[in-house]
């Protein structure tokens, strides 16, 4: 049971700042989900922890032991970490048990201990009956569980998962999310799970950290990120927020075109108080459809289309250049009726 502590980690590739002074801490036995758009530096962070990339600056410690920083670097094979990638790397010429036992053979465990540990870990990933099978007779989800078992077999201090579920289809993917949560809790295993999928990040992480162009922009519990995105970027990335340009004044937020006034009591300021030029971020949960294009806190819109979802129907509306998503509880929404969007709750950020 070990904590992971990264401080001031910088990584540059030529002119690209892949990580810019990143601080991240994961408590022992907890899962950190690292999320962000493609190219934001997620894999680079994992590779820096694993030892495949050496940071230009910063320190990374696991359980108080320095892996990199303070003038020294521990080689990857001595870091005591497990890693699982998007595309499972199981060897086709070895059985499931041989694949899983391979790291122990390299570490020169004796045969009896090896067999005992391999069957233990295969049971953990629910593959006890598959020990003698050849990997090419398994499904994608089963093969990914072989990779997971192999990453776990030597009892790593920290498990690093790089888009490890991204190649799997539902419902397998959902089952593996549950398995990871169970493994973390039962084995008090610290995990970093990298994903570009925001719903997966919120579902799986005890803590969620959002990266944007190499910088850590917000970290917190899933509920904190969900209810209080601290920047326009996070509001857009996590919530598909539409951002209306305008100004914050004494009576509330007024859009630049003058058509929308939202009173202060309907507004939240997750990044602190705002005066003057501002953006109002509208999330699908914070707005509702209005029959008329005018009224208090109403923006005139045209309905474009809608998408069915289990949490309700998402109606896509257009107001000038802005695309606004509205979550409704109506299942069979008839799109012709709405002509406005009313703001019930909005986030305001300085611009």
Chain positions contacting ligand ADP, by CB under 6 A:
13, 16, 18, 36, 38-44
The set of residues, in sequence order, having a beta carbon less than 8 Å from that of 69 and lying 6+ positions away, is: 7, 55, 58, 59, 60, 61
- 213/318 with CB nearer ligand ADP: 213
- 42/254 with CB nearer ligand ADP: 42
Rounded Cα gap, residues 85 and 7, in angstroms: 24
- How far, rounded to the nearest angstrom, does the alpha carbon of residue 281 sit from its chain's CA centroid? 21
Neighbours of 141 (CB within 10 A): 18
The set of residues, in sequence order, having a beta carbon less than 8 Å from that of 47 and lying 6+ positions away, is: 53
Minimum distance of ligand ADP from residue 57's CB (angstroms): 16
- 42/342 with CB nearer ligand ADP: 42
- 53/297 with CB nearer ligand ADP: 53
Minimum distance of ligand ADP from residue 71's CB (angstroms): 24
Minimum distance of ligand ADP from residue 9's CB (angstroms): 12
Query: Rounded to a whole number, what is the largest CA-CA distance in the chain?
Result: 77
Minimum distance of ligand ADP from residue 255's CB (angstroms): 34
Minimum distance of ligand ADP from residue 34's CB (angstroms): 8
Minimum distance of ligand ADP from residue 36's CB (angstroms): 5
Minimum distance of ligand ADP from residue 25's CB (angstroms): 20
**260 near 246, Cβ under 8 Å?**
yes
Bond prior to 82 in cis (omega within 30° of 0): no
Minimum distance of ligand ADP from residue 340's CB (angstroms): 38
- 42/239 with CB nearer ligand ADP: 42
- 29/39 with CB nearer ligand ADP: 39
Q: How far apart, in Å, are the Cα atoms of 79 and each of 24, 50, 209?
A: 18, 7, 23
Burial of 317 (0-12, 13-18, 19+ CB in 10 A): buried
φ, ψ (nearest 5 deg) of residue 92: -70, -25
- 22/324 with CB nearer ligand ADP: 22
Rounded Cα gap, residues 61 and 57, in angstroms: 13
Helix, strand, coil share (%) of the chain residues, nearest 5: 25, 35, 35
How many residues would you count in the chain? 351
- 58/246 with CB nearer ligand ADP: 58
Rounded Cα gap, residues 157 and 3, in angstroms: 8
């Amino acid at each position: 049971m070990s904590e992971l502590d990264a401080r001031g980690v910088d990584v540059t590739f030529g002119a690209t700042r892949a990580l810019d002074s990143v601080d991240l801490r994961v408590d022992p036995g907890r899962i950190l989900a690292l999320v962000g758009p493609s190219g934001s530096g997620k894999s680079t962070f994992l590779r820096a922890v694993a030892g495949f990339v050496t940071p230009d600056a910063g320190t990374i410690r696991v359980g108080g032991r320095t892996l990199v920083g303070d003038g020294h670097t521990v080689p990857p094979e001595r870091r005591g970490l497990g890693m699982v990638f998007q595309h499972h790397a199981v060897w086709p010429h070895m059985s499931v048990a041989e694949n899983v036992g391979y790291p122990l053979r390299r570490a020169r465990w004796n045969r009896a201990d090896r067999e005992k540990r391999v069957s233990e870990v295969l049971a953990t990933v629910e593959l006890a009956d598959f020990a003698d099978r050849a990997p090419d007779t398994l499904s994608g989800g089963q093969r990914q569980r072989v990779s997971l078992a192999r990453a776990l077999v030597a009892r790593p201090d920290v498990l690093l998962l790089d888009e490890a579920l991204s190649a799997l289809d539902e419902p397998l993917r959902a089952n593996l999310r549950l398995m990871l949560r169970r493994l973390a809790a039962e084995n008090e295993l610290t995990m970093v799970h990298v994903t570009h999928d925001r719903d997966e990040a919120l579902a799986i992480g005890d803590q969620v950290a959002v990266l944007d162009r190499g910088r850590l922009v917000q970290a917190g519990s899933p509920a904190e990120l969900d209810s209080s995105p601290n920047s326009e970027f996070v509001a857009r990335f996590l919530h598909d927020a539409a951002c209306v340009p305008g100004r914050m004044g004494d009576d509330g937020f007024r859009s630049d075109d003058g058509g929308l006034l939202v009173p202060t009591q309907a507004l939240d300021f997750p990044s602190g108080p705002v005066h003057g030029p501002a953006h109002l971020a509208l999330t699908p949960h914070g707005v509702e459809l209005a029959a008329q294009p005018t009224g208090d806190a109403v923006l005139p819109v045209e309905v474009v289309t809608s998408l069915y979802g289990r949490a309700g129907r998402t109606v896509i509306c257009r107001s000038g250049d802005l695309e606004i998503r509205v979550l409704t509880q109506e299942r069979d929404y008839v799109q012709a009726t709405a002509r406005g969007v009313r703001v019930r709750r909005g986030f305001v950020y300085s611009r």
